[in-house]
Structure 1
Amino acid sequence: MLQIKNNTKLKGMSLAIAGPLLWGFSGIVAQFLFTTYQLSPKWLVCVRMFGAGLLLLIFGYGTIGRQIFNPWRQRATALKLVLFSFLGMLPAQLTYFMAIHYSNAATATVLQFLSPVLIILYLALTQWRLPRIADLIAIFCALSGTFLLVTGGHFSHLNISVLGLSWGLLTALSTAIYTLAPRRMLTEFGSVTIVGWAMLLGSFGMLPFVRQTPFAQTALNGLGWLAILFVIIFGTLFAYLFVLKSLEYVAPTVTSLLGAFEPLTSTILTVLFFHIAFGLSALIGTALIIATTLIQALVPAKK
């Protein structure tokens, strides 16, 4: 019995690690596309969302059948899904890739991990309750970490461009909205259904930008198209399904903790492949920002 439990836990942890690893690799591959082919991030966002959304819905149809159409059977739910697609899913995807485009994959991913702090502040304001001690520690870590990451510990200059910082902070904001907005729909209809439809619908919002040509300054070769397929299939579809599947074997707390592999992967690969140096201050800042998520996962929420 103990052996079975250990195997189950190991399987869940492996899946919970594999998802963030793929997300981390996806950011690196996107940066490769932006720097090598000068690929338009807006074009990549559209293609990624359309491809991954369609594949998720096909997967959902294969597992739960026509239930994937249930959100469209009620006018109120359908409206909420459309709003989430364009105001939640699309901004979360677009800001992340724009942040990579104007900075790098590591910085964009780390700044994205500021979203738990924004969620803390939102819940404190809407529920009229003071943040816990753990929440205050998380906020301090986030603010200190952001300062060290973007300035290297010096007030006189920024380590990244203003556009890179701006898009990175918008990534954190849009990720917080993306996390909070669909909670009831996710409970009622399931994650695959809601995320699949939201990605597919949200991709239509990028069509006006996709029609602009050329979408890449350098012609895409076989390697470039393989990189795009990787972002869609492995960096989105499989990454999401792995994390979702891990919840069947381990607690959400464990999955949240292991999500830290995403910024760690992005940081290590950014240094290795793009030779972007991170000073000691920036590395400490990265660790502090990641710690905000770990604190929230480790400290149990109030009932």
Structure 2
Amino acid sequence: MAEKNQLSERGLERRRRIRRGIVATLVGGTFWGLNGTVSKWLMDTYAIDPLWLVCARELLACWLFLIAAAVTARGREQLSGVWRSPRDLLAILGVSLGAILFSQVAYLEAIDWTNSATATIMQSLGMVLVLGYVCVRMGRRPRRRELLGVALALVGTYLVATGGNPGQLSLPPEGLFWGLACAAAAACLSILPAEPMRRWGNFTVNGLAFLASGLIMSAVYRPWEHMPALDGVAVAVLAACVVVGTFGAYALYLQGVKDAGSMRASLLGTIEPVTATAATALWLGTSFSPADLVGFALIIAMVYLTA
């Protein structure tokens, strides 16, 4: 009887953890959707190079993660302990290059060459890669719910991003390249950080990964040589991009990966194009088309299906 109660408690705890991961993923994806629209506006309005924006966001956001890690006793223990594990430091470097730097550069370059809607639909293709990885690692076939979730997410994202008009997916070669890179980066972001975060925590892994990524990117790109002319509005918007769109979005999304799993988080992350479209409509006064509404419904159905 006691063993049965213990198993029941474990099951309840697991369900609570998954629900927490679902909420974190949805909020993180919402922040990303807003951030994509705002970043596009910054780059167009102030002629900001995407790589300069990557450097600024990473070198500023990394300190928010590290401070967040240092404010708790557990976080301080993780922050000091990780330096005694060369293997885990190497894994975090892999997260820095394969997930953080790759996803930041690919996404901002994609929306610079195309637009935020096209970038998000290309990015959503990473779900197929995540599903393949999970199935190979676990030695199983995709479940029907997962396949249906992928189909709904892809169709919904397509409709929201294009309004059902295939002509809007006509991309320049650079846009196609960076869009496909977005898909690969999204898959890396859903897979690579899971194990390091399990051992060392969300904030420690993110802080060190963002710091390493920002330093590497700065050494290569030299952002001080490409300083844009920013006024007070631009500085305020950039600060919001760092605090909400980078620190908040990555912290919440990767917490969702940790709690809900890579496949579920990747599917739920398609809330991003919904938010991006809504933000664009509110900002520019664009009305929703019937295809948009169908896309919203499909993505919401996917959320319930995978929850």
Select 1:91's aligned residue among 77, 102, 118.
102
Q: Give the Cα separation in 1 of the matches to 2:149 and 2:28.
A: 24
Displacement after TM superposition at 1:25 (Å): 2.2
Normalising by structure 1, report the TM-score: 0.76
Aligned partner of 2:89 in structure 1 is: 78
CA contact (8 A) 1:138 1:291 kept: no
2:303 maps to 294
Q: Would the alpha carbon gap of residues 151 and 14 (structure 1) be closer, same or farther in structure 2, given more than 3 Å must change?
A: closer
Q: Does 1:48 align with 2:57?
A: yes
Counterpart-to-counterpart distance in 2, 1:152 and 1:140:
15
The equivalences for 1:133-282 within 5 A come to 133-141=144-152, 144=155, 149=161, 152-154=164-166, 158-207=169-218, 208-211=220-223, 213-216=225-228, 219-241=229-251, 252=260, 261-274=271-284, 280-281=290-291
Give the deviation of 1:261 after TM superposition: 4.5
Number of positions where the alignment pairs a residue of Structure 1 with one of Structure 2: 283
Q: Which residue of 1 aligns with 2:11?
A: none
Matched residue type, 2:202: S
Corresponding residue of 2:32:
23
**Relative to structure 1, is the Cα distance of residues 70 and 297 closer, same or farther in structure 2, using a 3 angstrom cutoff?**
farther
- Match of 1:237, SS? helix
Deviation (angstroms), 1:93 = 1.4
Q: Report the alpha carbon displacement of residue 115 of structure 1 after superposing the two structures with TM.
A: 2.7
One of 78, 97, 118 as aligned partner of 1:107 = 118
Instruction: Find the aligned partners of 2:148 and 2:68 in 1 and give their Cα distance.
Output: 41
Distance verdict in 2 for CA 1:100–1:69, change over 3 Å: farther
Secondary structure (helix, strand or coil) at the match of 1:122 reads helix
What's the CA shift string for 1:227-278, capped at 9, x where partnerless? 111111122223445668899xxx849x958755432221111133246677
Bigger shift: residues 167-176 or 51-60: 167-176
TM-score, normalised to structure 2's length? 0.75
Residues 14 and 267 (structure 1), Cα distance of their counterparts in 2 relative to 1, 3 Å cut: same
Q: C-alpha separation between the residues in 1 aligned to 2:244 and 2:56?
A: 14
In structure 2, what residue type is equivalent to 1:36?
T
Instruction: State the 1:92 CA deviation.
Output: 1.3
Percent identity, aligned pairs only?
Answer: 31
Structure 1 window deviating more from structure 2 (28-37 vs 279-288): it is 279-288
What is the aligned counterpart of 1:34 among 18, 36, 43? Answer: 43
2:225 aligned partner, one-letter code: T
Choose 55-64 or 113-122, whichever is displaced more. Answer: 113-122
User: 5+ unaligned residues in a row in structure 2: which ranges?
Assistant: 1-15
User: What is the identity, as a one-letter code, of the residue corresponding to 1:226?
Assistant: A
CA distance in 2, matches of 1:166, 1:284: 28
Contact 1:150-1:160 within 8 A present in 2 as well: no
Alpha-carbon separation, structure 1, partners of 2:113 and 2:300? 25
